[in-house]
Amino acid sequence: MSRFKKLILGAVAALAISAPATAETLRWGGRADIYSLDPDSIASTFNLSFLNHIYEGLVRYDANFKVEPALATKWELIDNKVWRFTLRQGVKFHNGADFTADDVIASLNRVTDPASPLRGNIPLYVSSTIRPRRCAATSRSMSAARRSTTTPSTSRSRRRRRCSSTT
């Protein structure tokens, strides 16, 4: 490519990058209505498939329908009944709060509640346990911290302090 063409191409690219972004209206059409943006409120395949573009799960399917990491970086079947997920670090919610195992457990407890319309989607779920890998505290003390009357953010910061000295 000639030097002049490279210069013109570079100038066009710089102009495109420096152009101000404008908000536009997205018009979307589908065969059915989206009944709720709450992923645990409606047991509609169409609704859930739409929400998969908004919310992220522990794992997802790739283009070839193979399971790949999402919020979980790895997972393993421990004894044909127990799964262990390692969560992606550094994930934040839109309000800046850290994504933790407590959030996963809260979601599992919510979807398996007897009143949840999605309870049948994971019928074999029984319970969850948090076992931090880089922390000297035992899972027993972690369970005690979760049962305390403090708020989740307080017990999370207490766990961080207890764990940070051993990492």
Q: Which of 75-79, 82-86, 121-125, 135-139 has the lowest mean pLDDT?
A: 135-139
Confidence band of 3 (pLDDT split at 50, 70, 90): confident
Q: Percentage of the chain with pLDDT > 90?
A: 25
| Encoded amino acid at 76, one letter | E
**Total-model pTM:** 0.58
The answer to whether 130 and 146 are in contact (CB under 8 A) is: yes
Q: Is 51 left (phi over 0), alpha (psi -120 to 50) or beta?
A: alpha
Strands, E assignment, the chain: 59-61, 67-69, 72-77, 83-87
What was the pLDDT predicted at 37?
87
The answer to whether 90 and 74 are in contact (CB under 8 A) is: no
Mean pLDDT of the 105-124 span: 83
State the burial class of residue 22 (Cβ atoms within 10 Å of its Cβ: 0-12, 13-18, 19+): exposed
End-to-end CA separation in angstroms for the chain: 53
Residue with tokens 């969560």: 87
The answer to whether 138 and 131 are in contact (CB under 8 A) is: no
Confidence band of 19 (pLDDT split at 50, 70, 90): low
- Closest to 137 (Cα-Cα) out of 103, 161, 108, 104: 161
Mean pLDDT of the chain: 75
- Measure Cα distances from 32 to 44, 49, 124 in Å: 10, 12, 30
